[in-house]
Structures are given as structure tokens and as C-alpha cells.
Amino acid sequence: MTDQSDGFAVTVADRERHASDPARELALDCVTAGIEAAHPERIVAEALALDSDRLTVTAVDGTSTAYDLAAYDRVLVVGAGNAAGHFAAAVEGLLGDRVDGGAVVTDDPVETERIAVLPSDHPTPSERGVESARAVREVAADAGESDLVIGLITGGGSALLAAPASGIGLDDLRGTTAALLASGATISEINAVRKHLSAVKGGRLARAAAPADALGLAVSDVTGDDPAVIASGPLSPDPTTYADALAVLDRYGVDAPAAATERLERGAAGELAETPKPGDPAFDGADVRIVASARTALDAAREVAAAAGYEPLVLSSRVRGEAREAAKTHAAVAEECRAAGNPIEPPAVLLSAGEVTVTLGEDPGTGGPNQEFALSAALELDAGGAEAGDAAAVAVASVDTDGIDGATDAAGALVDDGLVGDGGGGADGSLDREAAARALDAHDAYPALDGAGALLRTGPTGTNVNDLRVSVIPAGESRSEGTK
């Protein structure tokens, strides 16, 4: 098991209150272990090695590549994402004076000496993000043929690296981003649009850096870990087109600002140059390696569960779709586990990762996908009911690993099968079933869960490998040997 006794640690506000029984405490332990394992400090220590001037990178798939830093005139660092500041600090700590400068953009700044950590905002692009993105592009464009550009690419980079394409203003980016996020589109679909409205996404940052060599180090927050989707693939070939981007708007009925729609239409008509595609000379010296992903968090959570004497099972690292619907499936698996010992025998921990979404209607409330997942799971577990005589509750934690679920101050929530009930809402923090259902329908999970004391608050975590979900099923007292 990875030693997590020192270095970065996640702090959960009111942890003692949340950890009110062994199942809830284990759910918290699994969540925090997963987030900590994906922090850049640990990623750099485990995935990067420096022997004299030889830098070796080991990706999550086990493959390695090496660079002789002494062969380059300069080593420059660029990057973007929620974890880019912490990533830059860790890389700077490893490489020291071998780093000749650079700039990364993030919403979670840290102190560095050689790499400028520049401010931006997430999930809505901002003016300061535009200025910071311009500085990142300038660093890449300044690289020469004998330089190495190291790109630190993490989740959140699509919004944080806000560099509008020609003819597109900041308000156009904001309006398009807001409409896409509310539409229920997948992240790959959203990013297909973003790439074609940007001066740096969709491989354009690699084009700016060429002919320098470019080494991308990516912390994946997308299902499937496609480098072309992570942070909208600034260093990767873009397989999508202007026509694909237009199709996304049509498919989800997205009413984008006129300037954005006009640019996409002009591009689809062949009036604008496409994003660089596979085989483009811009990528001759470029290589992007995934150094952490949802699997990184899942593996750490699984180790914690096993060490506690629970049987862990990873359901999937690629869960997607509507949050409330995904929660129903997860709750059903937990109920089957408790009732019949399938697919594993309690005490057990079910784990999943990926990215669930929420399709918002008019006048939505406050919340985020993980809060909706938790509230829906609580409703389903209440409906399923505990087995007669079962002394221990099923606990479910669902968090966004960056510590920010939706546009709220909560990472997600921790619930159990006793949270929701008829006639609840009393001093014990329980939720009335009808009130909980109304909150879910109104996409207003935040106040409901907050009132019940179920929200998990970590603050920014310094990483982002997307959603992490933990369902803890303790050993019950009512199941007979015949149900195994």
C-alpha cells in the first residue's frame, strides 16, 4: 500500500461529525486516499525520475520514455488546469535549475521560483484567464528548435486556458460555455466546440511550440483518458472538426452567441483553417503521457478498503450519463450486495469513477453532479430499505476530486440509507422524502444536503481526476448462509 503518512493531505471539514459510524468513516478514508494519490506531489514522485540529466517518465499504462535534458538549450514549462500550479511546483522541485522558465494557468495558485503560476477562473472563462492564457502561449511560441517544452495538462484546463480565437470575444466564450455545461453534453462534445473557438486548444499550443520538442504530462479527468479531450488537447492532434462542433450545438439545442455560431459555420464551410490533425508536422516532436487518472484514485481507495478488511470492487472508471440515473444503478448494486452477496459478499466497498452530468432546465437551483448523485442514491437506498435486523447502514460518498462540485463550495456529499425518510427534516438532520425528491427534480441538491449536514467540504485539492464514488456495505446481521 502506498505510504500516505506524509506530504499532501486532504482535510474534510467537520470530519468527526461525518465519520459517525465505521461505514461512513471508511467512505471518507477511501475518498481522501483517492484524492491524495492523484495529487501532483505524489504523481511526480512516482511517475517522474531524474538521474543526472536523464528524465524518465512512466505513464499509467506502464510505458516509459526518457529525455536527455542536457541535449536541449532550454527547458520551458507551460500548462493549464486545476492542478497546474501544484504540478508546476512539484516539477520545479524535481528539475531545479534545469527549468529555464515557463508559465501555467490555474485557479489554485502556489508559490514557485522559476515557473510563473498565473490566475484564471473555472468553470466560466474570465478576463484574467485570457491574459494568463496569452502569456502561456507566448512561452510556447518563444521556444526554439533546440528547446524542450514540458506541458502540464490537467482537468479544468479548458476553461482556465481561455484564449479566444480570432473574431471571438470573452463574452462569446462565456455564453457558449454556460450553455454547453447546462445542456447535458459529454465533456468530449463540449470540448469539440471549445477547441474550434480557441487559439490554443485542439493542438494549437503544440503548433505554437513547434519545432521545439514537446513533452505533455497529463492528469486525466476524462473517461477513457483521451489526451485530445483532456483540457481540450492543447498539445494533441484534434480528430474533431468544425462540422462536429456545430452538430453538438444542434444535438443539444444549444443557443450559442452569434459570433460563436458564425465562426463554426464559416469553419464548416471551409473558410477557416481546421485545428491540426493527426500527421500534422506540429506533432513531429510532441509526445503526451498520461501520468495520473481516475484509476490512480480508484487504486488507492481500493487499497484502503482492503486494509480495513472489506472486499473492494471497482465497478467502472468510466461511469457517465445523468447523475441521478447513475445513482440508481449504484444503489441497486449495493442493495443486491447486501441482500444476496452479489456481486461480492459484505463487508464490501463498491468503487467507481468517471463523469456524470446534469441536464438543467429553466431556473435551476444550486448543486453539482456529485451532490445530485448522492441525493438520488439516498432516495433509492431509502426506497430499497435495509434488511430486517441489519444493524449497519450503507454509506455512499460522491465527490469531485478537485474539491469543487458544480459552482459550489462543496466537493460532494456523504449520505447513508437513513438520511431520507417519511416525516424527516427533524433535528437529527434527516430529510423528508418528498422534500428530497422535490430538491432533486429542481436540481437544488445543495441546500437540501447542506441542511441535513451531508455536504463534504475539502476546499481546492490541488488535483482533478474527476468524480470518485464510494459505497460501503457493512456485514449485516440478517442474511443467512443460504443467501450466499
Set of cell numbers at residue 429: 438532520
For the chain, the domains span 15-37+296-476, 40-292
Pick the CATH number of 40-292 from 3.40.50.10180, 3.40.50.620, 3.40.50.2300, 3.30.420.40: 3.40.50.10180
Q: Classify the C-alpha dihedral 126-132-136-142 as positive or negative.
A: positive
Helices 170-183 & 187-195 angle (0-180, nearest 10): 160
Strand partners, 356: 321
Q: What is the pLDDT of residue 332?
A: 96
Q: What is the pLDDT of residue 6?
A: 54
Residue 104, phi then psi, degrees to nearest 5: -130, 155
Strand ranges (E), 113-256: 116-119, 147-154, 213-219
Q: What is the pLDDT of residue 124?
A: 85
Set of cell numbers at residue 90: 512539484
Distance from C-alpha of 24 to C-alpha of 405, rounded to nearest angstrom: 20
Q: What is the pLDDT of residue 429?
A: 55
DSSP codes, 89-151: HHHHHHHGGG--EEEEEESS----SSSEEEE--SSS--HHHHHHHHHHHHHHHH--TTEEEEE
Place of cell 524535481: 94
Q: Per-residue b/e over 139-174, b at no fewer than 16 CB within 10 Å? A: bbeebeeebbbbbbbbbbbbbbbbbbbeebeeebbb
Query: Which residues fall within 8 angstroms of residue 271, CB to CB, at 6 or more apart?
Result: none
For residue range 22-73, what is the model confidence (pLDDT) as tens digits?
999 999 999 999 999 999 999 999 999 999 999 999 999 999 999 999 999 9
Q: What is the pLDDT of residue 362?
A: 79
Pick the CATH number of 15-37+296-476 from 1.20.1260.10, 1.10.3720.10, 3.40.1480.10, 3.30.1490.20: 3.40.1480.10
Q: Say what the pTM is.
A: 0.89
Measured at the CA of 432, the angle between CA 430 and CA 437, to 5 degrees, comes to: 120
Set of cell numbers at residue 117: 503560476
Asked if 46 and 117 touch (Cβ cutoff 8 Å), the reply is: no
Set of cell numbers at residue 297: 484514485
CA distances from 208 to 127, 195, 282, 286 (A): 22, 15, 8, 12
Asked if 484 and 341 touch (Cβ cutoff 8 Å), the reply is: yes
For residue range 353-407, what is the model confidence (pLDDT) as tens digits?
999 999 887 788 999 999 999 999 999 997 665 443 444 589 999 999 999 999 8
pLDDT tens over the chain, length 484 residues: 334 345 789 999 999 999 999 999 999 999 999 999 999 999 999 999 999 999 999 999 999 999 999 999 999 999 999 999 999 999 999 999 999 999 999 999 999 999 999 999 988 899 999 999 999 999 999 999 999 999 999 999 999 999 999 999 999 999 999 999 889 898 999 999 999 999 999 999 999 999 999 999 999 999 899 999 999 999 999 999 999 999 999 999 999 999 999 999 999 999 999 999 999 999 999 999 999 999 999 999 999 999 999 999 999 999 999 999 999 999 999 999 999 999 999 999 999 999 999 988 778 899 999 999 999 999 999 766 544 344 458 999 999 999 999 989 999 999 999 999 875 544 345 799 999 999 999 999 999 999 999 999 999 999 999 999 999 999 975 433 433 3
Distance from C-alpha of 198 to C-alpha of 105, rounded to nearest angstrom: 15
DSSP codes, 257-315: -HHHHHHHHHHHTTSSPPPPPTT-GGGTTEEEEEEE-HHHHHHHHHHHHHHTT-EEEEE
